[in-house]
Chains A and B, each alone.
Chain A
Amino acid sequence: MPDTTTSRPHRSPSTAPPIRPGAPAVQLSAVVKRFGEVTAVDGIDLIVTPGEVVAFLGPNGAGKTTSIDMMLGLSQPTSGTVEVFGGRPADAVAHGRIAAVMQSGGLLKDLTVAETVQLTASLFPHSRPAAEVLERAGLTDLAGRRVGKCSGGEQQRLRFALALLPDPELLVLDEPTTGMDVETRRSFWAAIRQDADAGRTILFATHYLDEADAYADRIVLVSHGTVVADGSATAIKAMASGRTVRATLPDADLAGLSAVPGVTSVEARGDTVLVQTTDSDRLLRHLLERTDAHDLEVTSHTLEDAFVALTTDRSPR
């Protein structure tokens, strides 16, 4: 019997991606990472196939950055395996197949933008021309400026330029637009989208739902170190609780509404009823044919609802 006050979210097992020939871009198998008492990653299975744009979505502390560090070879899992293009992460880094845009830090203040790019380029056996990556990151005009004098958004674009140097097949971004203004953010994502369209695999960690919704083909929702949901934005939204139907119905028969198939919760606020249901058509027919309900309104759940429902409902293990 469904609750009458709070809705209980549906949760379906994560769908396994179709098997394709060739190694996946990233494969995490039963990865666990502990730091002493703290378990940052508590068993993650993840496969990213080449060409995908995947958002790693979750609240702070969910284990996103820790997982990314392991993908980049910056740390080792406590147990489980991490493979990038079928091999060790460190090898993928050395061959320039994977590159990352960190959230902050990682730049020398007394070098100019152009020098930072040149210095990094000199470390790769093959790299894109410095002028090209500066252009793509919108930094051509800032080439001669000292990094220490650049704004946060400009420094972030520099990190992006550096990541483009080895022309990586997989680009990993850790909260890339934190602190960026709207314009910068938009042009940043436009550049990323161009890359993705050209075939680059993109994995980005974010806690901004709108970003995940707008730019990713697939969202991997993480919370407390595990994958809570994995699918397209649409699929995840549907996972939460279907739809909400709002209607003006004084003296509503709450029990009767609860009995309608598909209804998961019913709430009355004054003359308004709020009903959560997985079958809104059925409920609408009931309301229109069997009750005096009027001013009916149907809303789909947003990604935020799904996010909240799926991430806060879980308690840490």
Chain B
Amino acid sequence: MFSPTYLLMDLRRSLRNRRTLIFLVVMPVLFFFAFAGPYQSKNDIYTYIMVSMAVYGAMIATTSTGASVAVERSLGWTRQLRLTPLRPAGYVLTKVLGALVLGVVPVVLVLAAGRLTGAQLGATIWLECAVASWACSLVFAAFGLFMGYLVPAENVMQFIGPLLALLSFFGGLFIPLDQLPSALREIAPWTPTYAVGEIARSPITHDGLTAGNVALLLAWTALFAVGTGLLFRRDTARV
């Protein structure tokens, strides 16, 4: 049903990919320095942006892992897997777990970069932000899977990349929400990135860990999960 060896080899394969490494390691830290740099002396803002970038990094990592099913489908690998005892559900589970494992990397790196450059937070706050950023990225693993089953193309990430950037704006990850045009500001609170951003930053802002945001996050996760399930069933019945 589930193979730990498969998960390990899948992770090793991801890390072997240069582009994945850049997205995982280089980009989030680089973005952090670029966006937060000017505010290094203002701890409140500095840490706020730091967590936003951690969320962004985890989002990219988990979405791209989920979306890797698109490449594997287009190559016919998933069909080959159906000739093995690995149940399709086991395959999806492997992808989700892989996403969560990889999601740890950018979170740890960005928070470490922040700490090393003088960000100040209470000891438990560091942990809370880290765990929250990481755990919430589950919704993006589901999103990645959903896109992966919807768009069976090898270059699926070229399609998803801009989409994620847009979602990041809605989540106030790059610029504060109050600086968005009012029309977009209306939409923002309904997006998954908004919920993730708010919840991940809540240990700092003491605001944002609301029932509404949690419900929003769960709803989006469920939506993508169900969507994936349906597309998946269509996939396996198609032949």
A positions within 8 Å CB-CB of B: 69, 72-76, 93-96, 99-100, 102, 104-111, 115, 118-120, 122-125, 162-163
Contacts and interface: CB of A to CB of B under 8 A. Distances in A.
Given A73-B82, A123-B84, A123-B86, A107 B75 contact: yes
| Listed residue (B13, B16, B83, B84) with the most chain A CB atoms within 10 angstroms of its CB | B83
Interface of B: 3, 5-6, 9, 13, 16-17, 72, 75-77, 79-86, 237, 239
Contact of B80 (A73, A96, A106, A110): A106
A69 to B, nearest CB: 5
Given A105-B75, A108-B75, A110-B13, A123 B85 contact: yes
A72 B82 CA distance: 9
B96 to A, nearest CB: 18
A102 B80 CA distance: 8
B239 A123 contact: no
Determine chain A's interface SS by DSSP, over half rule.
Answer: loop
Contacts of A76: 237
A125 B75 CA distance: 25
A195 B54 CA distance: 55
Contacts of A163: 83
Contacts of B81: 123
Contacts of A119: 5-6, 9
A110 B10 CA distance: 11
Nearest to B5: A122
B84 A106 contact: no
A109 B82 CA distance: 18
Contacts of A108: 13, 72, 75, 77
Nearest to A118: B9
A101 to B, nearest CB: 10
B9 A123 contact: no
Contact of A109 (B5, B75, B80, B85): B75
Contacts, number: 70
A191 to B, nearest CB: 19
Given A75-B239, A122-B6, A105 B76 contact: yes
A124 B84 contact: yes
B5 A106 contact: no
Contacts of A96: 85
30 contacts: A72-B83, A73-B82, A74-B239, A75-B237, A75-B239, A76-B237, A93-B85, A94-B85, A95-B85, A96-B85, A102-B76, A102-B80, A105-B75, A106-B75, A106-B77, A107-B75, A107-B76, A107-B80, A108-B13, A110-B17, A111-B13, A115-B9, A118-B9, A119-B6, A120-B80, A122-B5, A122-B6, A122-B9, A123-B6, A123-B81
A100 B83 contact: yes
A107 B166 CA distance: 34
B178 to A, nearest CB: 44
Contact of B77 (A72, A104, A107, A125): A107
Contact of A124 (B9, B13, B79, B85): B85
Contacts of B239: 69, 74-75
B83 A93 contact: yes
Given A102-B80, A111-B13, A162-B80, A123 B75 contact: no
A106 B76 contact: yes
A105 B77 CA distance: 7
Given A69-B239, A106-B75, A108-B72, A122 B3 contact: yes
B83 A99 contact: yes
A266 B40 CA distance: 99
A74 B82 contact: yes
Given A93-B85, A96-B85, A122-B6, A105 B79 contact: yes
Contacts of B76: 102, 104-107
A118 B13 CA distance: 13
A159 B127 CA distance: 47
A99 to B, nearest CB: 7
A283 to B, nearest CB: 51
Contacts of A75: 237, 239
Nearest to B78: A106
A41 to B, nearest CB: 13
Contacts of B79: 74, 102, 105-106
A40 to B, nearest CB: 11
Contacts of B3: 122-123
Given A106-B79, A123-B3, 4 more contacts: A105-B76, A108-B75, A110-B17, A120-B84
